[in-house]
Structure 1
Amino acid sequence: MTVRTFTLPDLGEGLTEAELVTWLVSVGDTVAVDQPIAEVETAKSAVEVPCPFAGTVHRLHGDAGQTLDVGAPLISVDTGDRAGTPAPEGGGPKGGQSYREEERAGADPAAGTSPGDDDGGSGSVLIGYGTPGGASGGRRRRPKRSAAPAVTAAPVSATVTSAATAAAHDAMASAPRLAPTVVSPIVRKLAKDRGLDIATVRGSGPGGLILRRDVEAAAAPAAPDGAAAPAGAPAGDAAAASPAVPAPEDPAVDARTGLRVAGRVPVSGVRRVIAQAMTRSRAEIPEATVWVDVDATRLLELRAELKAQDPERAPGLMALIARFVLAGLARHPELATRLETREDGSQEIVRFDGVNLGFAAQTDRGLVVPSIRDAHTLSARGLDAELKRLTALARAGKASPAELSGSTFTLNNYGVFGTDGAAAIINHPEVAILGVGRIIDRPWVVDGQLAVRKLTQLSLAFDHRVCDGGAAGGFLRMVADAVENPVSVLADL
């Protein structure tokens, strides 16, 4: 039989990893060319990955919830070509030991080179569109539990001494035909980050399986033989000296608070991307915030009139405000720029011919920012159509990476959550974000008389490195005036 291994393809837009959400096939299933085999979650969207090979599923590399690097093995398929020579699972990035080579178990290092990646397959995988030259199809099955690793040794008996276990590990490491027994991509990445050759690490798991604590112990400074941990040394040092006796990984009681731990949720997928983006924004951007209360009564009246005239095509409030924002950016373009640092350490402000308008959208996967490309060329009705289309895609998890990136200015309507105002965090690498609060009845002075009006609050957070208070205040005041007198402003657009 000939086993072909398909690696996680390049997902585009600079993405280097993806979280494996669920398998769509199981070991032993028959797959066709371009049949979806797994659902993965990239930075902010979920996509199905098609397989470029046809045959029988031989092995699934990874479990649901794991994060895989681009180029790491994803699935091995028996293509049924028994006349061929068994192909090693090599490949991946050039230089050093690849993930495929680490996953290879029992393969002969002297074996011949593997066939080209395009032999018997359909070609390069394009996420969401299948692969060129292949026909989609094939019966999809319900996801099942991932199969066990292809090569595992029998569990070590509890009566074996530590010296015998060490000897067995040394014999395994010296065997020319066996690769390190490691199945977790997290363990591999941890070893790589700490500069360790995974083949030199002794595993304390069943059959010599290399676990995370084994890598941490191997990376810790070695203590002299027979030396005891000094008095007052941290408990982690003692654990590193005795990797065969692991400390509890999930204690029932939190040492800091004394409360029982109800659960642990890994920061992964969209939540991790949001955390990284927000941290970077706060760390790099010296932001300032200005805000103003606005009488939106006339804007609501205009919206009601448009809806009465044409209920199907009447733009929503967000589309009208977006149109006012674009008019303000045309007068104050510095708020839709980007600050870049060059190789020599100097900085420059990058200006753009137009605006890609981003808007914050809350989804089940977290907060995302779809981008309306060339928004400055659209009318209020055109903006309304794009807002609805991109919001639906984002909430369904079907928006592409291109549709979730590339914005130069962001509009955030946090009023839908019932809040009046907020100090928004700038969507890095942009330099400004405008927030809109809820519209409610409040007392307001009109022509010297107290009246009940529809009030909202606009807040602008801006990067003080590229914009001063005068420009920020001028932009905010222009948008506020447009909200208060929409008819006169729309006549000029």
Structure 2
Amino acid sequence: MSADMQVFLLPDLGEGLTEAELVNWLVAVGDEIRVDQPIAEVETAKSMVEVPSPYAGIVAELHGEAGQTLDVGKPLISVAPVGASVPAEPKAAALEEEVTEAPAASIAAETYRTEEKAGSGNVLIGYGTSGGGEARRTRPRKALGSSVAVPSAVAVAPDFAELALSRTRIPGKLSAVISPLVRKMARDHGVSLDALPGSGESGLVLRRDVEAAIGGAVRETAPAEVPAPAAAAADVEPSAGVRDARTGLPVASRTPVRGVRKAVAANMTRSRSEIPEATVWVDVDATALLEMRAELKKKDAHGTPGLLAFIARFVTAGLKKFPELNTRIVTTEDTAGGEMQEIVAFDGINLGFAAQTDRGLVVPSVRNAHLMSARELDAEIRRLTAVARDGKASPTELASGTFTLNNYGVFGVDGSAAIINYPEVAMLGVGRIIDKPWVVDGQLAVRKVTELTLAFDHRVCDGETAAGFLRYVADAIENPGTVLADL
């Protein structure tokens, strides 16, 4: 690889994400690109976003194919200076081969930097490069006191190589482990790294070694000298002829849990394990709200807010009266060095709402919702829903909520034992609106009735506060004209 070649690594995706699926290349080998030009579309556990290039020049190599899952810190694209000649076709694993041929110390150092410090200066997806800072150098630096660059293939002294590799070892263990992801995977599955044979350079323990030990996904073992590129995984992998060990039934398919589904699963698991939640619910007569909206539609058919926007307006007003439900619990260190929990309150409301997309359930949030009218809320909810369904929502739009409103009535159900959207402390669910018998002024009548369900974190408040908030929203739905006039 030329000394002037610049290699762009898949950047830190934020929110603790460590991998992304390459959906589509937006450039080809030989194309001339500019700084901040989108070069690829990738799907993370949050959304599908475009990756901008921090370099200008000629595309020399694309490291990956559509459908392949790439790890953060691994090569994404190689860029040569303008005017440089590049091969007509990309070499599938050119960079991987070169890295493999490098000394063990170089591999250890580079892997540690990219996996332990991923994102310290890389481009954040969707935001371009930093204003005035230069992109991080990836070519060899010049030796001190010399004008000659040190080639990447120059052998490193054996003692330094051993020292670098020894720093990757777990004390008292025989195997070398660099990646924190590998260590976490082994810990989570109860795999002892003691004497676990590593298939990487100098016995380095790789992810595939731990997966093999825990009986995970079956992968073909590639020679240690040339790591096999990740296969373009299909959403559903056929498993003909395989029987499940527990049930004895044939396995029809195996579907990898990844992307949005993987993020949802992790978030819901954490919510259930950490939050002592309680639930309160109430049936509400929504007839007056529907009648009011019908009257507004006669005057302005296209500018009338939807029902969810009206309820969102009532929710923001209710959270102002019951701010305990618009908080977050964090764990900090006390003066004695121990752990303590704090309830963090916010001066404002970012109202999240659940949106079903082709990639799964996501929760975009309306920022500063407490400052918006029902009409403004309606416009922002519609915009965010469209962005989320297109997979273009930014990490900020998907991860900044302080309270979630979930309209599961669109699925034809009345109620739900909702799981709180961690790290928030409460979620309000709205069921379908249907005709039900209802007593009005002592007389039985048919009314439009819905069920409101509030799941809340019992650590931040007691049932009285939760019931007070729920009753406030219910009263607002039953008497919308009076409440809206006071807002």
CA contact (8 A) 2:182 2:206 kept: no
Aligned in 2, Cα 1:302/1:420: closer, same or farther, shift over 3 Å? same
CA contact (8 A) 2:413 2:431 kept: yes
Q: How does 1:169-248 map to 2 (within 5 A)?
A: 198-201=200-203
Give a deviation string over 1:373-400, Cα, whole Å, max 9, x none.
1111111111111111111111111111
Cα displacement (A) at 1:71: 2.2
Is 1:275 equivalent to 2:231 in the alignment?
Answer: no
CA distance in 2, matches of 1:439, 1:191: 49
Q: State the partner residue of 2:101.
A: 106
Match of 1:374 among 343, 346, 368: 368
Q: TM-score, normalising length from structure 1?
A: 0.70
Q: TM-score, normalising length from structure 2?
A: 0.71
Is 1:295 equivalent to 2:295 in the alignment?
Answer: no
Aligned in 2, Cα 1:346/1:188: closer, same or farther, shift over 3 Å? closer
Match of 1:318 among 305, 308, 312: 308
Q: State the partner residue of 1:72.
A: 74
Q: How does 1:12-31 map to 2 (within 5 A)?
A: 12-26=14-28, 28-31=29-32
Partner of 1:346, secondary structure, is strand
CA distance in 1, matches of 2:419, 2:211: 36
CA contact (8 A) 2:328 2:345 kept: yes
Partner of 1:465, secondary structure, is coil
Q: State the partner residue of 1:391.
A: 385
Give a deviation string over 1:45-67, Cα, whole Å, max 9, x none.
11111333455544433444444
Cα displacement (A) at 1:44: 1.4
Cα displacement (A) at 1:307: 1.2
Aligned in 2, Cα 1:16/1:211: closer, same or farther, shift over 3 Å? closer
Give a deviation string over 1:277-317, Cα, whole Å, max 9, x none.
00000000010101001110000000011111122221110
Letter in 2 for 1:416: V
Cα displacement (A) at 1:258: 2.7
Q: How does 1:426-445 map to 2 (within 5 A)?
A: 426-445=420-439
Q: State the partner residue of 1:462.
A: 456
Q: State the partner residue of 1:4.
A: 6
Partner of 1:321, secondary structure, is helix
CA distance in 2, matches of 1:82, 1:243: 33
CA contact (8 A) 1:191 1:198 kept: no
Cα displacement (A) at 1:131: 4.8
Match of 2:347 among 327, 345, 353: 353
Letter in 2 for 1:309: K
CA distance in 2, matches of 1:312, 1:278: 37
Give a deviation string over 1:191-236, Cα, whole Å, max 9, x none.
565665831349xxxxxxx98665667x79xxxxxxxxxxxxxxx7
CA distance in 2, matches of 1:132, 1:354: 29
Aligned in 2, Cα 1:32/1:415: closer, same or farther, shift over 3 Å? same
Q: Say how many residue pairs are matched.
A: 387
CA distance in 1, matches of 2:63, 2:222: 26
Partner of 2:293, secondary structure, is helix
Aligned in 2, Cα 1:349/1:108: closer, same or farther, shift over 3 Å? closer
Cα displacement (A) at 1:108: 7.3
Moved over 6 A (4+): 80-83, 100-103, 108-111, 187-190
State which drifts further: 257-266 or 292-301: 257-266
Q: State the partner residue of 2:256.
A: 266
Partner of 2:253, secondary structure, is coil
Q: State the partner residue of 1:38.
A: 40
Aligned in 2, Cα 1:23/1:457: closer, same or farther, shift over 3 Å? same
CA distance in 1, matches of 2:103, 2:279: 63
Cα displacement (A) at 1:68: 3.1
Q: State the partner residue of 1:162.
A: none
Q: How does 1:38-57 map to 2 (within 5 A)?
A: 38-57=40-59
Aligned in 2, Cα 1:478/1:82: closer, same or farther, shift over 3 Å? closer
Give a deviation string over 1:131-167, Cα, whole Å, max 9, x none.
5799xxxxxxxxxxxxxxxxxxxxxxxxxxxxxxxxx
CA distance in 2, matches of 1:297, 1:10: 49
Cα displacement (A) at 1:271: 0.6
Q: State the partner residue of 2:230.
A: none
Match of 1:60 among 51, 59, 62: 62
CA distance in 2, matches of 1:103, 1:447: 82
CA contact (8 A) 2:7 2:76 kept: yes
Match of 1:340 among 330, 333, 352: 330
Cα displacement (A) at 1:25: 4.2
Q: State the partner residue of 1:165.
A: none
Aligned in 2, Cα 1:465/1:131: closer, same or farther, shift over 3 Å? closer
CA contact (8 A) 1:57 1:75 kept: yes
Cα displacement (A) at 1:129: 5.4
CA distance in 1, matches of 2:123, 2:331: 34
Q: State the partner residue of 2:486.
A: 492
CA contact (8 A) 2:32 2:82 kept: no
Partner of 1:342, secondary structure, is strand
Aligned in 2, Cα 1:18/1:446: closer, same or farther, shift over 3 Å? same
Is 1:419 equivalent to 2:405 in the alignment?
Answer: no
Give a deviation string over 1:296-352, Cα, whole Å, max 9, x none.
000000001111112222111011111111111111110111111112211111111
Runs of at least 5 residues in structure 2 that lack an aligned partner in the other structure: 86-94, 111-120, 133-157, 162-177, 187-192, 224-237
Q: CA RMSD in A?
A: 3.6
Give a deviation string over 1:38-93, Cα, whole Å, max 9, x none.
2111231111113334555444334444443332211223436769xxxxxxxxxx
Cα displacement (A) at 1:31: 3.9
In percent, how many aligned pairs have the same letter?
67
CA distance in 2, matches of 1:211, 1:337: 40
Letter in 2 for 1:48: E
Partner of 2:324, secondary structure, is helix
Letter in 1 for 2:126: G
Give a deviation string over 1:378-423, Cα, whole Å, max 9, x none.
1111111111111111111111110111111110000000111111
CA distance in 1, matches of 2:311, 2:81: 57
Aligned in 2, Cα 1:420/1:266: closer, same or farther, shift over 3 Å? same
Letter in 2 for 1:104: V
CA contact (8 A) 2:104 2:202 kept: no
CA distance in 2, matches of 1:400, 1:42: 11
